[in-house]
Amino acid sequence: MVEITEVAESTPRQSVSYKSTEVTKAVEPNVDLGNLLLEDFDPLDAEQYKSNGGDYLKEVARSNAQFLVNKLWQLPTKRVEDVIVAVLPKPTTILPREKEVPKIKPTTKWQEYAKMKGIQKRKKGRMVWDDESKSWKPAWGYKRANNAEDDWLVEIPDQKDPYRDYYGDMKEAKKERVAKNELQRLRNVARAAGGSEVEGIGMNIEKKSSKQVARQLDRAKHATASLGKYAEKIPKEKPARNTGKKRKFLPNENAIPKEKDKALEIWQRMESKRPKLDIEKAVSSKVRVKKNTAADDDDEDEAPRKKRKRGAGGSGGGTGSSGGKSRKGTKGSKRKDKMHSFNKKKHASHASKNKRT
């Protein structure tokens, strides 16, 4: 029979090489076990990094992780249920916050009053003893203790109406208490935000703008079962703004075929865009040019006629009233000559523009 030792010696052993857990550093690294942080101050080998950068960086990262794990094995341990864990010390490195420091909440009216009067808040237990059910029940909320609404019989005093619905009165009183608490909460929120009044609460129209009143009226209409479809309208009431559908943006990540179709659609739009000709604007400019040229031609025809008439009237005498008229005629003719030259220049500029177009 072949012995086991002979078989074991005959089979070649698989050589498994594991790296050593001992790590030596030229410069002692800074280790913060509270944050599981290690700072390596050893300089990198430039030649090894150039020759084989990826493997060299992996080796450096592996040695640093091994150094940190060796430090963790030196920490004291404790048992939590069935697991042995290491007790981490307090962190020494100050890390930046992810979010800003929370602001101090402003005090409410009741907190200010309690502080002024020296009232200290005493914490009460939620569960209280209920004498009727002989059990512990919550002091408030669902199935609370000593709830008058759960009684099947209501005691009515002699001076009150026996035919009144006292169960309905209790429900209405509860609704009023809930509404009052909600109003106080909204007022505290408004005070914390810097405002003095909660929008949409109450109808103090004197202190509200027209936009706030219109917004409040629109909210009241939409509070009905038909969402304001059959609500009566006020005379000269304008339709509410910003009540339509909001813009829907496309998702950032989509299927590849959809993205391809979207890109092709945008490309086709860019290719099909051509300079559009505004026909109305072109026709109106052409008509305006024709009117200006016609007016200039009429001025040229009327100018020599007026000159002849003025010349005939001024030849009656050099002095006296006729002479005065002739002087006025000469001044008017000079002005007409200036206007005529200006119209000619204007006509020439219009003609040059027409040629360019």
129-171: pLDDT as tens digits: 888 788 898 888 888 887 777 777 788 888 888 888 888 888 8
The pTM score is 0.31
Greater model confidence, 256 or 205: 256
> Distance from first CA to last CA of the chain, Å, rounded?
115
Burial of 257 (C-beta count, 10 Å sphere; 0-12/13-18/19+): exposed
Asked which of 129-133, 240-244, 310-314 is least confident by mean pLDDT, the reply is 310-314
- The number of beta carbons lying within 10 Å of the beta carbon of residue 67 is 19
What confidence category does residue 196 fall into, taking pLDDT thresholds of 50, 70 and 90?
A: low
Domain identity same for 146 and 176: no
> Is residue 243 domain-resident?
no
> Is residue 207 domain-resident?
yes
> Is residue 329 domain-resident?
no
Domain identity same for 35 and 64: yes
Domain identity same for 79 and 35: yes
> Is residue 216 domain-resident?
yes
Per DSSP, which regions of the chain are E strands? 30-32, 37-39, 77-80, 83-86, 127-130, 135-138
Write a three-state SS string for 260-284. Answer: HHHHHHHHHHHHHCCCCCCHHHHHH
> Is residue 38 domain-resident?
yes
Domain identity same for 146 and 182: no
Alpha helices in 92-165 (DSSP H): 109-117
Number of structural domains found in the chain: 3
Contact 166, 172 (CB under 8 A): no
What confidence category does residue 66 fall into, taking pLDDT thresholds of 50, 70 and 90?
A: very high
What pLDDT score does 335 carry? 56
Query: DSSP labels for 297-357?
Result: HHHHHHHHHHHHHHHHHHTT-SSHHHHHHHHHHHHHHHHHHHHHHHHHHHHHHHHHHHHH-
Contact 218, 244 (CB under 8 A): no
- The number of beta carbons lying within 10 Å of the beta carbon of residue 33 is 19
Residue 33 is part of which domain span? Answer: 20-86
Of 123, 150, 177, the domain-final residue: 150
Domain identity same for 27 and 69: yes
Asked which of 63-67, 77-81, 243-247 is least confident by mean pLDDT, the reply is 243-247
Reported as a single tens digit per residue, the pLDDT across 97-120 is: 888 888 888 888 888 899 999 988
* Amino acid occupying residue 123: K
pLDDT surpasses 90 at 65: yes
> Is residue 256 domain-resident?
no
Closest by CA position to 303, among listed 343, 337, 328: 337
**Where is 49: in which H helix or E strand?**
helix 46-51
> Is residue 303 domain-resident?
no
Domain identity same for 30 and 67: yes
pLDDT surpasses 50 at 328: no
> Is residue 70 domain-resident?
yes
